[in-house]
Structure 1
């Protein structure tokens, strides 16, 4: 009986290792299945403030990255050379920072949009006959007297996953915006702005340069070039009139083995450089967490197999003790 039990355990172990081999060799697959990169897509946008449509908005659409069958993004076209990482878009803040960074580069380097459009009476904009990929949407500031309406730039994937975890090629989106009043034409109200450099290179700060150069741009136009270093606490502050302008920050000559992202919090713009070279903090090379929609079935399967093996081993120990009595 003991021999049969040992053979059974060995067979189970062999089956488990075979299963692990299949898991390692299989590419990551989304629960919705592989997407179709060559399929036509469309994007419909609705610009509203407190339920009312905003007409006459100038909207610019850029295709910034290609998308693979397994939903991996690769920067392409005018955006191919930028040191902006798209492999870790796991949170809304990461998506917002990537959009902010790419929008600043597009404005600073004068990239031509793939499509331009104006919103209709209800705030509607539609872009049809699009390739699949990752798209950046940028909207000009809406001005009327002292009133301003601003919509944040954003990234959107075509296709996208819906609530049922299925690929949708005709995507609808509702951009986030705000309405506010500026100071009058003769007003001298000023706002304090600040750009701050943040480093994510724990235990690898030897790769960090002594300084970095950033361009400050007002409504896309050059305003100032500043050098940030430890001497000024990696920060620069300036004041400007409250006229509703949009301020962008672009980092030039990003250090080797670093990625860049710019995040906005009110009037503070944070430029983060994350070290991604050898020995970088975080995940080990080759590790990749499941993306949204990716199948998680190997996890419970392996856990169940582990419980079976534990139970079999425990039964063997109990049987051995009984035979020794």
Structure 2
């Protein structure tokens, strides 16, 4: 290879290496000092449902190692013994919820507004557990779920998280009514049936007494 071509080749390789380095280190880095928010809208068949309460628990802290970020259990939940390696696990939120309730861990509780919304403000980066500890009237409790703040979307970190798509309520099943038995939710008129036999007997006695008096009068008149 001629010296000129050799120099050109080295220059091209150097440019490619620089480009790769820029690409590798140009990814977004989370700002762990920045606060955000977590908003939830309780829905049933696409419509907002008001009533009930939601509680927010901080489960994990952000951990950084060699430019990689993940979560580790904080001091409140360290005793739960769960692993945060698979945040998509369906059993993980339930296990953490049971642990929080058993240990009576502190959380932030808010009432669900008339628009079906709850918004937790000034939330620092971390992993959070959302628990519905009181359901809206006529509905079942929503299943607990995890939310990370911030979370990655289209290559950038988002600090104002909308968790609404993760929540879909279910209505309570209708209470079955046993055939032959009155529905306890209906007015109970059956308790008024007891005077009927008494009234029938009383009517027969009065009828018999009337006939006896009439017969006696007739008998008296005949003898006179």
Contact 2:131 2:144 in 1 (8 A): yes
Residue 87 of structure 1 corresponds to: 85
Residue 75 of structure 1 corresponds to: 73
Residue 169 of structure 1 corresponds to: 159
**Higher relative contact order, structure no. (Cα contacts within 8 Å, ≥ 6 residues apart):** 2
Secondary structure in 1 matching 2:115: coil
Contact 2:139 2:172 in 1 (8 A): yes
Contact 2:42 2:169 in 1 (8 A): no
Contact 2:42 2:117 in 1 (8 A): yes
Give the total of aligned pairs: 161
Contact 1:55 1:120 in 2 (8 A): yes
Mark the runs of 5 or more structure 2 residues left unpaired by the alignment.
179-224
From 35, 54, 64, the counterpart of 1:40: 35
From 162, 175, 180, the counterpart of 1:184: 175
Residue 54 of structure 2 corresponds to: 59
The Cα offsets for residues 49-68 of structure 1, whole Å up to 9 and x where unpaired, read as 11211111210000000013
Following superposition, the deviation at residue 97 of structure 1 comes to 2.2
Residue 148 of structure 2 corresponds to: 157
Residue 100 of structure 1 corresponds to: 94
1:138 aligns with 2:131: yes
Residue 310 of structure 1 corresponds to: none
Task: Find the aligned partners of 1:62 and 1:171 in 2 and give their Cα distance.
Answer: 15
Q: TM-score, normalised by structure 2?
A: 0.62
Following superposition, the deviation at residue 186 of structure 1 comes to 6.9
Q: Which runs of 4+ in 1 moved over 6 A?
A: none
Mark the runs of 5 or more structure 1 residues left unpaired by the alignment.
188-325
Aligned-pair Cα RMSD in Å = 3.0
1:129 aligns with 2:122: yes
Distance 1:143 1:107, change over 3 A: same
Select the structure that is richer in helix: 2
Task: Find the aligned partners of 1:98 and 1:47 in 2 and give their Cα distance.
Answer: 21
Larger Rg: 2
Select the structure that is richer in strand: 1
